[in-house]
Amino acid sequence: MAADDRQRIEKALAYIVANLDRPLVVAEVAKVARVSEFHFHRLFASIVGESVGQFIARSRLETAALRLAYHPTRSVTDVALASGYSSTANFSKAFAAYFGCRPTDVRDPSRLQESRIGKLTSRYGKDFDPAGLYALPHAPDDVERKRRKERVGHDLRFEDRDETELACLASPAGYELTSLVSLWDELVSRVRALGLSGESVDAYGIAHDSPTLTAPELCRYHACVPIPKTTPLSPPLFRATIPAGRYAIVRHRGTVESLADTYRDVYSVWFPESGLEPDDFHPFEHYVNDAPVDGHVDMELGFKVRPRRR
């Protein structure tokens, strides 16, 4: 593997995610990565763990599931077209084949009677329960909903951010905790050796996948630090960015395990009553302290937001 192969594939992945709403061919994506189509197939599979076609199809369906859950005013047809499908019928067929349930079951999990065995289960051994995308039952106790919304809003603020350039390392084992600890140790060592950080590291984590939807072996996580745009990087470090825009910043103080609960509270409790919707499903995690202490973290979660579509 060439020294800059990871950076090439990361550029290709970012391009795919930004263009899921239209037809994509491998030759086009390979051109973005600046490698031959033949070499790109092999390189992509070796780094990502699945073929280009599998990644595109999976990303479209996973993004569609998040839109169904967290963009409640968008019709299923709108979600289908925004996910690169030519019709609602084609989308519904592909969705059911992969997740084992209908798109409407994600909108209202209480309607789900019996799920089938989809590709997510047969190929990766992971079951999907649409209710797992929500912090509360579809018809929750109003007192509990209010409590969770207030908990999210207690330390919430908004920021208009410029684009942030990052130096990153990719986790070799997704969100597996032991792997993440080693990943951060390596990143800190490398950025200090390059003079990009002092004793205290301005640490950002980018989680690219929802563990509710994505098989553990396919989840992607990047450990990152901000750098000037002109800073040269050598592999295995690669460049990424946090896009410019308006962000809701939510404070999470608690265990690493409870972080998933905070995400669900934000998406399924706070967003529906905020008048906003997620503009991007790749939030950033900004560590207030350098590392977990006794299994607890203090971090800020940044959610790119926009006014809700009517």
pLDDT tens-digit map of 192-249: 888 887 778 899 999 999 999 999 999 999 999 999 998 899 999 999 999 999 999 9
- Specify whether 26 is located in the same domain as 113: no
Q: What is the pTM of this model?
A: 0.93
Instruction: Tell whether 250 is covered by a domain.
Output: yes
- Specify whether 236 is located in the same domain as 256: yes
Q: How far apart are CA 6 and CA 33, in angstroms?
A: 10
- Specify whether 94 is located in the same domain as 224: no
Structural domain of 22: 5-48
State the amino acid at position 294 in one-letter form. D
User: What pLDDT, on the 0 to 100 scale, is given for residue 291?
Assistant: 67
User: What pLDDT, on the 0 to 100 scale, is given for residue 50?
Assistant: 96
DSSP per-residue string spanning 41-65 = HHHHHHHHSS-HHHHHHHHHHHHHH
Q: What stretches in the chain show pLDDT beneath 50?
A: none
Per DSSP, 85 falls in state -
The strand pair at 296-307 and 245-255 is best described as antiparallel
DSSP per-residue string spanning 108-136 = -GGG-------HHHHHH-----GGGG-SS
- Specify whether 235 is located in the same domain as 123: no
- Specify whether 195 is located in the same domain as 303: yes
- Specify whether 76 is located in the same domain as 210: no
How many alpha carbons fall within 13 Å on the CB side of residue 176?
A: 12
Instruction: Tell whether 238 is covered by a domain.
Output: yes
Instruction: Tell whether 146 is covered by a domain.
Output: no
- Specify whether 28 is located in the same domain as 90: no
Residue-level length of the chain: 310
- Looking at the DSSP bridge assignments, the partners of residue 110 are none
- Specify whether 13 is located in the same domain as 85: no
- Specify whether 123 is located in the same domain as 254: no
Instruction: Tell whether 219 is covered by a domain.
Output: yes
Q: How many CB atoms lie within 10 A of CB 65?
A: 24
Instruction: Tell whether 147 is covered by a domain.
Output: no
Q: How far apart are CA 73 and CA 105, in angstroms?
A: 15
User: What pLDDT, on the 0 to 100 scale, is given for residue 13?
Assistant: 97
Total structural domains within the chain:
3
CATH number at 87 reads 1.10.10
- Specify whether 282 is located in the same domain as 248: yes
User: What pLDDT, on the 0 to 100 scale, is given for residue 126?
Assistant: 94
The gap from C-alpha 36 to its chain's centroid, in whole angstroms, comes to 28
